[in-house]
Amino acid sequence: MTTVPPDTTPEELDAALTRASAAAPLLAGLAPSERAALLEAVATALDAAADELVPLAMEEAHYPEARCRGELGRTTFQLREFAELLRDGSYLEVAVDPADPEWGTPRPDVRRVLVPLGPVVVFGASNFPFAFATAGGDTASALAAGCPVVAKAHPGHPKLARRTAEIVVDALAGAGAPEGTFGLVHGVEAGRAAVLHPLTRAVGFTGSIPGGRALFDLAASRPDPIPFYGELGSVNPVFVTRAAMGARGDEVLQGYAESANMGAGQFCTKPGVVFLPEDAKLDALVADFAERGASSLLNDRVAQGFDRVLGGLVDHPATEVLVRGRRTDEGWSPSLLRTDLDSLLENADTLLEECFGPATLVVTYADERRLLEASGVLKGQLTVTVHGEEDDAVAPALLALGASVAGRVVWNGWPTGVAVTHAMTHGGPYPATTAPLHTSVGTTAIRRFLRPVTYQSVPQSLLPAVLRDDNPLGVPRRVDGAHPSV
Amino acid sequence: MTTVPPDTTPEELDAALTRASAAAPLLAGLAPSERAALLEAVATALDAAADELVPLAMEEAHYPEARCRGELGRTTFQLREFAELLRDGSYLEVAVDPADPEWGTPRPDVRRVLVPLGPVVVFGASNFPFAFATAGGDTASALAAGCPVVAKAHPGHPKLARRTAEIVVDALAGAGAPEGTFGLVHGVEAGRAAVLHPLTRAVGFTGSIPGGRALFDLAASRPDPIPFYGELGSVNPVFVTRAAMGARGDEVLQGYAESANMGAGQFCTKPGVVFLPEDAKLDALVADFAERGASSLLNDRVAQGFDRVLGGLVDHPATEVLVRGRRTDEGWSPSLLRTDLDSLLENADTLLEECFGPATLVVTYADERRLLEASGVLKGQLTVTVHGEEDDAVAPALLALGASVAGRVVWNGWPTGVAVTHAMTHGGPYPATTAPLHTSVGTTAIRRFLRPVTYQSVPQSLLPAVLRDDNPLGVPRRVDGAHPSV
């Protein structure tokens, strides 16, 4: 029987960051392929511990087994993806500009490479106890970059966090990583103190807007402000055109119900606001929502937040309740609400608040050209989705609207499910994230934890190996502005 | 006779940002090669106006003509460099990942490209009235990215700023740029209001630590925080090893005097703190400083700040004044001070404050291995320089120290003079900058004003041209993780 870990004391936190700081130059000094081996060792160890970890996740996050096993697989896949990225080496963005007396400015030999920032503090999410938590994407990308990680355990799954951390620490040690490469802390105060700790060089966070903003403000208030990569909130608007609804309305509404209720609506990419023609037949959608059973929510805090936001939507004079979910002993059954475009535009602050849990809002429209007015009220989003036909007159403008407010624009699909791949963006303007230049999913997530350093006129024997003319690590380089090659 | 422009009113500021915001989608919608033509038109117009602009710069910044002409040349070279970068297209970081049912996560077709952030507010520097001001590097990189710019005129050269802006606006209009692509505002309050304006999407700043930090804090305090790229302050430590001093001490000290006094010491890359062996003969260095004449400083504010910081150094019990510069009718003559390593370590906060102007501090050391202790007190720097011999035992550790605190590490050279090239980094950890991931000089400076957007499952006919399979713009792309190619 495992117990809930106690809060980390200030002394323990300081020790964890001191160890991380001591590990930083050693971890940075490893060749990328050596760090790749560390990531793979962690992946192997986590996979091997699935039968131990999955039950802990089921117990603490109240997800079914298949979901937990799938998410663990995603997590270890992600670690291996970063290992592959390290072996390729192009993520280092090496550029070599030989001296050139004919250049438009004085130009000595200059060579650029990305180097790790130093210790990173990672705040995991409640809703992905594996993939966005202790050994999730932020941790994987920071370690890949060469940054030691101090993870803050999410209070929703402290036992899983602790066991995951033990496995990570053991795997790293077994693979020869510097001591202090990974640590775990518990408790709200330890989290705040970690953001303010002088040795912390960056923060990764996945969670709510209020929680993330409070920590962002702390990071910005430091004597030396540090990058804060927060993935906060999004309502992930979905625009369904008249033509799409006419061509395959049943399929669209069925997909909507599936996506909105995935994980009991506890996805940051849940389609929270779906624009449909006002004459769309919603009977089947309503029946689908009404027939769905109850699901446990992640934890009491999520449940309280959900109750509060849903209550506000239900009580709002501009909404109509199509299905009122109920709370039973098994949890919450889904809710479906409706408003119209004018009401949304007039009450955007309230109606566009993220409702994290099993509830979603249909917005009906009369004139689909007026959908573009939504751009005036939509804040930054992780995703915008368009269901349309290729010859839809309004489709190009809706896609452009999507690109202007979101990090990902989805066509005729659903935003839940984020591919871990090179071209992925899981990010967006505030409040989707606090750092619109970046993504927290996909291989370019590593860029958050690297900064450029340029070596000027340094002789071959004193250059880092990655910058030497003989390129012993075989890293792709941009020489004199040409496209990267080995 | 030109007059000093009045402060911009709140209404005028709002109008400028509203025009910029209206221009944003139009500017973003241009092909990169079309934006390249705009930048080239600006460069041509500024070059053509040299005989008008240079006298204004000489009058307002008190620099000699050659310096002003050289700096204008650097400025227009920079604009043309970004034009070339746009024509190449690799800066867009296009990645195409075809759908793959065998992938470790569900993987539809996803395609990534960088898009402009939107209107950027640029605060120019006092000390580079061309290259880091109205039409300087921040403006060039933001326009190249596709972001309209509202520049805040530096109060040290308001007339030059106004005339430069007129030329930029005319050149952009003549080349077919959207109205509102560039605007200029004047006054402290307009600057603060611009950082807080809802339509502003990012800020570029070059200036002092207090000024930059105040604006950074404003940007972070917004309801929607925005990226703030501030290049603030640096003392640019230079380590001279015993071996280097022995091999070519005269040359090193001569280079030191030249670099430290360039532009009357008003370079952000001035070598402000130079570590020399305690037995180094400083007579020639002292004579060199003592013989140098007086130079005007940029403006009264710079002069007052210089007086204050220099006074603190002179009065500090741990320093010895080797040359006490004087204020004459012609301006300030240079000062040279000395302390020792132990005193520096004990009084780092005071002795390592940037002294912007003609003064520099020699730090003598007895044991060169103890130089590494400086890493404990050095904050983030734009540059660290090492003068050594290739077989110096201490050189590798000093170079590593440099890379750990600075954006650029210089070997056997001087930090003044920043090549505008692909591999350059003009940046570093706080307080060198507020954004350690970035550079404000060199082609990668464009990355500050771009964010990624991923298109998922969007049909060919609805994709932006740059992401289509037929690649009509001929942009290099990373397909399925392979190295970029056209």
Can you spell out the DSSP letters for A401-440? Answer: HHHHHEEEEEESS-S-----STT-----STTSBS-TT--S
Residues B175, B275: one domain?
A: no
Q: Which of B104, B410, B452 is opposite residue A407, by nearest beta carbon?
A: B452
Q: Angle B20-B24-B26 (CA atoms, 0-180°, nearest 5)?
A: 120
Residues A210, A324: one domain?
A: no
CA distance A192 to A153: 13
Strand order in the sheet with A335-340: A320-323, A335-340, A359-365, A273-277, A238-240, A381-387, A406-411, B450-456, B110-116, B94-97, B477-479
Separation in Å, CA B481 to CA A154, A420, A424, B7, B60: 33, 12, 12, 51, 52
Q: What is the residue-wise DSSP string for B209-265? A: HHHHHHHHHHHHHSSS---EEEE------EEE-HHHHHHHHHHHHHHHHHHHHGGGG
Of the three residues B411, B444, B459, the one that is the final residue of a domain is: B411
| CATH code assigned at B99 | 3.40.605.10
Neighbours of B310 (CB within 10 A): 21
Q: What is the residue-wise DSSP string for A13-67? A: HHHHHHHHHHHHHHHHHS-HHHHHHHHHHHHHHHHHTHHHHHHHHHHHH---HHH
Instruction: Return the amino acid letter for B115.
Output: V
How many angstroms away from the CA of B349 is the closest CA of chain A?
13
- Cβ-based neighbours of A214, under 8 Å, separated by 6 or more: none
Of the three residues B376, B411, B446, the one that is the final residue of a domain is: B411
8 A C-beta contact, residue B474 and residue B486: yes
B274 part of a folded domain? yes
CA distance A428 to A269: 12
8 A C-beta contact, residue A273 and residue A361: yes
User: In A163-208, at which residue ranges do the beta strands (DSSP E only) sit?
Assistant: 182-185, 202-206
CA distance B248 to B254: 10
With bands split at pLDDT 50, 70 and 90, how would you rate the model's confidence at B1?
Answer: very low
Is B376 in a helix, a strand, or coil? helix
Q: What are phi and psi of B294, to 5 degrees?
A: -85, 150
Residue-wise pLDDT tens for chain A (486 aa)? 468 889 999 999 999 999 999 999 999 999 999 999 999 999 999 999 999 999 999 999 999 999 999 999 999 999 999 999 999 999 999 999 999 999 988 999 999 999 999 999 999 999 999 999 999 999 999 999 999 999 999 999 999 999 999 999 999 999 999 999 999 999 999 999 999 999 999 999 999 999 999 999 999 999 999 999 999 999 999 999 999 999 999 999 999 999 999 999 999 999 999 999 999 999 999 999 999 999 999 999 999 999 999 999 999 999 999 999 999 988 999 999 999 999 999 999 999 999 999 999 999 999 999 999 999 999 999 999 999 999 999 999 999 999 999 999 999 999 999 999 999 999 999 999 999 999 999 999 999 999 999 999 999 999 999 999 999 999 999 999 888 888
CA-CA-CA-CA torsion sign (A294, A298, A304, A307): negative
Residues A272, A209: one domain?
A: no
Q: How distant is the alpha carbon of residue A281 from its chain centre?
A: 35
How many angstroms away from the CA of B157 is the closest CA of chain A?
24
CA distance B453 to A437: 10
Inform me whether the C-beta atom of residue B469 falls under 8 Å from chain A C-beta atoms.
no
Inform me whether the C-beta atom of residue B379 falls under 8 Å from chain A C-beta atoms.
yes
Inform me whether the C-beta atom of residue A103 falls under 8 Å from chain B C-beta atoms.
yes
B162 part of a folded domain? yes
| CATH code assigned at B285 | 3.40.309.10
How many angstroms away from the CA of A424 is the closest CA of chain B?
6
Inform me whether the C-beta atom of residue B119 falls under 8 Å from chain A C-beta atoms.
no
Residues of A in contact with B425 (CB under 8 A): 112, 452-454
Tokens of A74: 């995603």
Residues A242, A217: one domain?
A: no
Of the three residues B361, B377, B411, the one that is the final residue of a domain is: B411
Tokens of B77: 């070279």
8 A C-beta contact, residue B406 and residue B199: no
8 A C-beta contact, residue A213 and residue A232: yes
End-to-end CA distance of chain A: 53
Q: Has residue B176 got a pLDDT over 80?
A: yes
A102 part of a folded domain? yes
Neighbours of B317 (CB within 10 A): 8
Neighbours of B152 (CB within 10 A): 28
Residues A244, A348: one domain?
A: yes
Inform me whether the C-beta atom of residue A476 falls under 8 Å from chain B C-beta atoms.
yes
Residues of B in contact with A111 (CB under 8 A): 423
CA distance B155 to B3: 13
**Containing structural domain, residue A285:** 238-411
CA distance A82 to A448: 14
B274-295 pLDDT tens trace: 999 999 999 999 999 999 999 9
Inform me whether the C-beta atom of residue A88 falls under 8 Å from chain B C-beta atoms.
yes
A252 part of a folded domain? yes
How many angstroms away from the CA of B213 is the closest CA of chain A?
10
- Per DSSP bridges, beta strands B381-387 and B406-411 are parallel
Q: Which of B97, B117, B420 is opposite residue A436, by nearest beta carbon?
A: B117
Tokens of B223: 């309801």
Residues of B in contact with A453 (CB under 8 A): 403, 406-409, 425
B28-38 pLDDT tens trace: 999 999 999 99
Amino acid A277: pLDDT: 98
State whether A454 and B399 contact (CB < 8 Å): no
Contacts of B76-80 with CB under 8 Å at 24 or more apart are B76/B43, B76/B44, B76/B46, B76/B47, B77/A104, B77/A105, B77/B43, B77/B420, B78/B131, B78/B136, B78/B137, B78/B140, B78/B420, B79/B39, B79/B40, B79/B42, B79/B43, B79/B46, B79/B135, B79/B140, B80/A104, B80/B39, B80/B40, B80/B43
Rounded percentage of chain B residues whose pLDDT exceeds 90 = 96
Tokens of B166: 């007129």
Residues A366, A447: one domain?
A: no
B426 part of a folded domain? no
Strand order in the sheet with A202-206: A182-185, A149-152, A120-123, A202-206, A228-231
Q: Which of A95, A104, A220 is opposite residue B422, by nearest beta carbon?
A: A95
CA distance A55 to B344: 57
Put simply, the chain A residues between 432 and 451 with a CB less than 8 A from any chain B CB are 434-439, 443-444, 447-448, 450-451
Inform me whether the C-beta atom of residue B225 falls under 8 Å from chain A C-beta atoms.
yes
How many angstroms away from the CA of B321 is the closest CA of chain A?
31
CA distance A83 to A141: 10
Residues B460, B336: one domain?
A: no
Cis peptide before A225 (omega within 30 of 0): no
State whether A462 and B108 contact (CB < 8 Å): no
Residues of A in contact with B412 (CB under 8 A): 457
Q: Angle A406-A407-A409 (CA atoms, 0-180°, nearest 5)?
A: 75
Q: Angle B259-B260-B263 (CA atoms, 0-180°, nearest 5)?
A: 80
Residues B66, B208: one domain?
A: yes
Residues A46, A152: one domain?
A: yes
B472 part of a folded domain? yes
CA distance B311 to B307: 6
Tokens of A64: 């079914």
Residues of B in contact with A412 (CB under 8 A): 457
B187 part of a folded domain? yes
User: In B49-104, at which residue ranges do the beta strands (DSSP E only) sit?
Assistant: 94-97
Instruction: Return the amino acid letter for B181.
Output: T
Number of domains in chain A: 2
Q: Which of A117, A407, A462 is opposite residue B454, by nearest beta carbon?
A: A407
Residues of A in contact with B454 (CB under 8 A): 407-409, 423-425
Tokens of B45: 């117009």
CA distance A335 to A327: 11
Q: Has residue B392 got a pLDDT over 80?
A: yes
Inform me whether the C-beta atom of residue A70 falls under 8 Å from chain B C-beta atoms.
no
State whether A408 and B457 contact (CB < 8 Å): no
A349 part of a folded domain? yes
Residues A40, A88: one domain?
A: yes
Put simply, the chain A residues between 238 and 267 with a CB less than 8 A from any chain B CB are none
Residues A162, A272: one domain?
A: no
Separation in Å, CA A101 to CA A39, A111, B69, B409: 44, 16, 19, 20
Q: Which of A73, A216, A483 is opposite residue B484, by nearest beta carbon?
A: A483
Instruction: Return the amino acid letter for A53.
Output: L
H or E segment to which residue B456 belongs = strand B450-456
Amino acid A2: pLDDT: 64
Residues A166, A270: one domain?
A: no
- Asked if the interface predicted TM-score (ipTM) of this complex is over 0.90, the answer is yes
CA distance A265 to A276: 20
Amino acid A19: pLDDT: 98
State whether B418 and A105 contact (CB < 8 Å): yes
Is A72 in a helix, a strand, or coil? helix
